[in-house]
Amino acid sequence: MSNKSECIKEYLEYLQYQKNYSFHTVTNYSKDIYEYFDYLNKEGLLFNKVTYDDLRFYLMYLKDEKKDVNSSIDRKLSSLRGFYKYLANERVISSNPFSLVHGLKKDKKLPRYFEYNELEELFLVPDCSTPLGQRDLVLLEMLYATGVRVSELVNIRVSDIDIEQMRILILGKGNKERIVKYGQYCSDALNNYLHDGYISLNVGESDYLFLNKNGDALTERGVRYILSKIIKETSIQKNISPHMIRHSFATHLLNEGCDLTTVQKLLGHESIKATQVYTHVTTERLKEVYYKNFSRAKINNKD
């Protein structure tokens, strides 16, 4: 391999024909490598002579000039690390400077959630004059009222529900049981469904609470399909998932002053670290409300 073009061409062929990488993956590797070579050309650097210090400046370029997020930078580093490992194996270079470069910390993604008014709009969609509409309303109300995972939701049996105490026995991760409570809105929707729509749907005398039109237990995929249909009938410009409603449950509890340990137990988290991510959401929300409504903060806020 006498020049950079040959090196790149042979490496991409190696990925495609020896490593059996998909066309999409090889294309992404190609983009990352050519972008890197554009940078080297601009800086007057030779690809087989770069040092660790050169790569530090490259990372600064990606972060400060390109404004790449950490996950994008990590992907590019992975592409180039593999490329330079190949060059070292082929004796094109004597050492691999990318072996000294570590990945960046992943960008912390805050949980997405619905505002109260958005949830109200969702609750208005199901047609409660039909069995499926009654089921869909209970599905929405129960996801939000209890914060259960979708896998836990579809496994709820009617025998798990204490109607009088308005609570449900949930079988969570690791077969651990916990009790979740639900409120009056969910209770009203549930009672209406159990005494009407559920009877019509339950042709096979199932004990599962959520049934499809054939009387079989609803699947996780089925729940996601129902939610996708519901949000299309609203003005909400957000994607929807069962987990997003779970995030809404946790975020709204903390916004209303619930303590973190209680939210942890209600969500069924093994570690409180998993629950702490919601404190970042509520902190940002408090900051937003403060700057929007406190006049002196509006004047002095430079953020």
- Indicate if 278 belongs to the active site: yes
**Residue 302: its pLDDT value, please?**
46
Both 81 and 135 in one domain: the answer is: no
Both 62 and 136 in one domain: the answer is: no
Task: With respect to residue 131, please indicate whether it lies within any of the assigned structural domains.
Answer: yes
Domain, as residue range, for 273: 116-293
H or E stretch including 294?
A: none
Both 121 and 203 in one domain: the answer is: yes
Q: Tell me which of 76, 149, 247, 252 is the catalytic residue.
A: 149
Q: Tell me which of 81, 112, 178, 243 is the catalytic residue.
A: 243
Both 193 and 263 in one domain: the answer is: yes
Supply the CATH number for residue 156's domain.
1.10.443.10
Task: With respect to residue 181, please indicate whether it lies within any of the assigned structural domains.
Answer: yes
Supply the CATH number for residue 92's domain.
1.10.150.130
Which of 74, 100, 126 is the last residue in one of the domains?
A: 100
**Residue 174: its pLDDT value, please?**
75
Both 132 and 61 in one domain: the answer is: no
Task: With respect to residue 120, please indicate whether it lies within any of the assigned structural domains.
Answer: yes
Which of 75, 100, 125 is the last residue in one of the domains?
A: 100
* Count of domains observed in the chain: 2
Task: With respect to residue 107, please indicate whether it lies within any of the assigned structural domains.
Answer: no
CA angle, 34 then 36 then 38, to 5°: 70
Task: With respect to residue 157, please indicate whether it lies within any of the assigned structural domains.
Answer: yes
Which residue, 39, 148, 58, 41, is CA-closest to 100? 58
Per DSSP, helices labelled H in the chain are 4-13, 23-43, 52-60, 70-89, 116-123, 131-146, 150-153, 184-194, 197-201, 220-232, 242-255, 260-267, 273-293, 295-300
Q: Tokens for 101, please give them.
A: 């470069």
- Indicate if 246 belongs to the active site: yes
Both 211 and 273 in one domain: the answer is: yes
**Residue 257: its pLDDT value, please?**
83
Task: With respect to residue 298, please indicate whether it lies within any of the assigned structural domains.
Answer: no
Q: Tell me which of 11, 58, 84, 246 is the catalytic residue.
A: 246
Both 15 and 59 in one domain: the answer is: yes
Q: Tell me which of 4, 85, 112, 269 is the catalytic residue.
A: 269
Residues with Cβ within 8 Å of residue 151, at least 6 apart in sequence: 220
Q: Tell me which of 173, 229, 280, 298 is the catalytic residue.
A: 173
Both 218 and 83 in one domain: the answer is: no
Both 150 and 60 in one domain: the answer is: no
Note if the pTM is more than 0.85: no
Both 82 and 169 in one domain: the answer is: no
Both 122 and 271 in one domain: the answer is: yes
Task: With respect to residue 177, please indicate whether it lies within any of the assigned structural domains.
Answer: yes
- Indicate if 292 belongs to the active site: no
Both 259 and 120 in one domain: the answer is: yes
Query: Could you tell me the mean pLDDT of each successive run of 10 residues in the chain, 303 residues long?
Result: 80 90 89 93 91 89 87 88 90 85 65 90 97 98 95 96 96 87 96 97 96 96 96 93 92 86 89 80 62 56 47
Q: Tell me which of 36, 193, 198, 278 is the catalytic residue.
A: 278
Which of 35, 70, 100 is the last residue in one of the domains?
A: 100
